[in-house]
Structure 1
Amino acid sequence: MKETKWGGLRSSSGDIAGRSTLTSSGIAPQADLVSISLATQCRCEPVTYKVRITEKQMDKKFAVFIDGDNISPQYLDSIFAEISQDGEILVKRIYGDWTTTNMGSWKVKVFESPVRIFQQFRFGPNATDNSIIMDAIELCNQSNDINAICIVSTDADYYSLALRLREIGKFVLGIGKENSKPIWQNACNQFVFLENLNRVSLPQQNAHSLATLESSLPEVGKLLDFAMDNSRSDNNGWVSFSDLGKSIRSRYPGFDPRSYNHKSLLQLVEAFSEDIEIRTDESQPPNYWARGIKKIESEEADSTGIVKRFMGVFGFIENEKGNYFFTLSNILPQSRDKKLRKGTKVRFSVFKEPNPIGEDNAEKNGKASNVEIIEE
């Protein structure tokens, strides 16, 4: 991408004063065009330039709309953790008919999470969908702060809403199951499958015992584990302290290292040096990054099993923990030219552990990578 010169004023003589440089790269197809008009003070003609603002440059402010009739409450914490990695959540709403028995599990969950609930009686098959569609458009028209919308549903009826929101310059994130229709997935800027979300195990706060401060604090080790698992990281697993702090406060706004007798987050993390390693740079003041030692070791550990089925481009591995799904690209190059059939012994890395209580096979199956045939 070429450099775009902007920020200048063109005088009557044709000179441009006060230039600055903006370098852009990797322009996204959905980038918004923003016109920057420069006023003039003395006999200067205004010059207008068009600058593309990419998704990476945009600081996302999300409004989240959850179709409670269509999504299980077991995903709620994982959904919010996923969205928080990409921006700040300003609005959280769950819609459904709260008078029905199938919303009973949601009633328990909303007491644990700060989210607004909206009642919609089932006057028709798409009553909840229509309510979300109208409220999403209304909110976008009323609030200048919201620039990203997340619709959580597997229902393809929202595809038209996604297209309309993108027409007015909003970033649209869809979250739903893998069996979501392609038209719904492709209508969004980005679509995340529920089956790919981490199972978030939140550290519990004792909300009923407030006799002392300590009794209401989440256990610090689990708190750091939660933050490490739900923060943006680079390819080597390093998480910046800035993102680490944001992840903690997105779930616990009252978090303060001093509550644990530490002056800073750095001191708190340093107390867990056996579990978390820290690196820094030479900046002043320095930047810090953290990486979980145990997590790296567990990811490098291999598991073994036998091929249960292989259909040419994908298959399943079975061991004592359950079934693991894998694709042709997950097989190591040195094993791809070998015959892979039912009963073949393999070694593999666990990308996702099986979940025996999942609602369907996609949730119940784990996922494998780095599959290698074991020679006998």
Structure 2
Amino acid sequence: MKDENLAVLIDADNVPHAHIKEMLDEIAKYGNPTIKRIYADWTQPQSNGWKNVLLENAITPIQQYSYTKGKNSSDSALIIDAMDLLYSNKVSGFCIISSDSDFTRLATRLREASMFVIGIGEKKTPKPFITACDKFIYIEILRKERNDERDPKQDKSKSTKPNTKDVDPKLKKLISESIEEISDESGWAFLGSLGNYILKKSRDFDPRNYGFSKLFPLVKSLNDIEIEERETGEKNIKHIYVRNKVRG
């Protein structure tokens, strides 16, 4: 997916501007953001925060006047542009940056057209929009990562990973059941396949939500899961397999 062209469409009314660089850095992991547009009524004072970060991040502002008080006309402009881009064949994926459930149908429609859809928003984002995306990323996680990088007083020698006992029981159940559902006859499941399968069941799944940088250290922290590294025949490359421990 990293070589694919992505359209990044930002709802300025429903996400904070402070961490746009972190958002764009995250998007770059999935593809090349060739189109970056942001929608707002730029005559309104609440849009001022965004104006300062548009040029340095090469984001094109789209003006949409608020003709009716209480109505968000920017939503309509974003949706119309998304559909135009869909039929232009210029991109193969979209990133919708918003915490607004009004984009649920848009995300669903884009995926129906075989588009890869990433959502980025705050944790207050309604579940329907999260579920409608292929993957949903919380801004709070990106914010925390950047704050950790900027904090010179942070003691890197001390692990900040949660204790196994602190891991959400629902997460443990999700991982355990997923392993069982995709494992072979011996109970082993390839870690890469496990991550993809969990994401299909829970669109906002991200090891960073639980204090882990990747899936492997998260799974490794769980006492009820066995881990096996298998040789691939290539130098320094191993495949990681996991399975639920058999209870005696």
Indicate the TM-score class for this superposition, using the shorter chain for normalisation: 0.5 to 0.7
Query: Which of 13, 30, 55 does residue 86 from structure 1 map onto?
Result: 30
Mapped to 2, the partners of 1:177 and 1:329 lie a distance apart of 21
Is 1:185 aligned to 2:130, yes or no? yes
Structure with the higher strand share, 1 or 2: 1
Counterpart of 1:186, as a letter, is T
RMSD of the alignment, in Å?
3.3
Mapped to 2, the partners of 1:141 and 1:197 lie a distance apart of 32
Query: Which of 158, 176, 180 does residue 301 from structure 1 map onto?
Result: 158
Mapped to 2, the partners of 1:81 and 1:165 lie a distance apart of 23
Partner of 1:176: 121
Partner of 2:66: 122
Counterpart of 1:301, as a letter, is K
Query: Which of 94, 108, 112 does residue 52 from structure 2 map onto?
Result: 108
Q: TM-score, normalised by structure 2?
A: 0.59
User: After the TM superposition, which residues 1-376 of structure 1 pair with which residues of structure 2 at under 5 Å, given as runs?
Assistant: 59-124=3-68, 125-142=71-88, 144-198=89-143, 298=156, 300-302=157-159, 327=168
Deviations 1:171-216 (A, max 9, x none): 1111111111111111111111111115576xxxxxxxxxxxxxxx
Deviations 1:282-312 (A, max 9, x none): xxxxxxxxxxxxx9x92x5146xxxxxxxxx
Instruction: Kindly tell me the number of residue pairs found equivalent between the two proteins.
Output: 169
Structure 1 residue 126 displacement after superposition: 2.8
Are the aligned partners of 1:73 and 1:105 in contact in 2 as well (CA < 8 Å)?
Answer: yes
Q: Percent identical across equivalent pairs? A: 30
Structure 1 residue 327 displacement after superposition: 3.8
Structure 1 residue ranges (4+ consecutive) displaced by more than 6 angstroms after TM superposition: none
> Gaps (5+ residues) in structure 1?
1-55, 202-224, 227-294, 304-312, 315-325, 332-365, 371-376
3-state SS in 1 of match to 2:48: helix
3-state SS in 2 of match to 1:169: coil
CA radius of gyration, larger in:
1
Deviations 1:217-244 (A, max 9, x none): xxxxxxxx99xxxxxxxxxxxxxxxxxx
Q: 1:367 to 1:173 in 2, by over 3 A?
A: closer
Are the aligned partners of 1:94 and 1:118 in contact in 2 as well (CA < 8 Å)?
Answer: yes
Partner of 1:46: none
Are the aligned partners of 1:79 and 1:197 in contact in 2 as well (CA < 8 Å)?
Answer: yes
Counterpart of 1:157, as a letter, is D
> Gaps (5+ residues) in structure 2?
173-208, 213-220, 222-248
Counterpart of 1:148, as a letter, is G
Bigger relative CO (Cα 8 Å, ≥ 6 apart): 2
Mapped to 1, the partners of 2:138 and 2:6 lie a distance apart of 18
Mapped to 1, the partners of 2:144 and 2:128 lie a distance apart of 27
Mapped to 2, the partners of 1:88 and 1:109 lie a distance apart of 19
Are the aligned partners of 2:19 and 2:143 in contact in 1 as well (CA < 8 Å)?
Answer: no
Structure 1 residue 109 displacement after superposition: 1.5
Structure 1 residue 59 displacement after superposition: 3.8
3-state SS in 1 of match to 2:57: coil
Are the aligned partners of 2:95 and 2:117 in contact in 1 as well (CA < 8 Å)?
Answer: yes
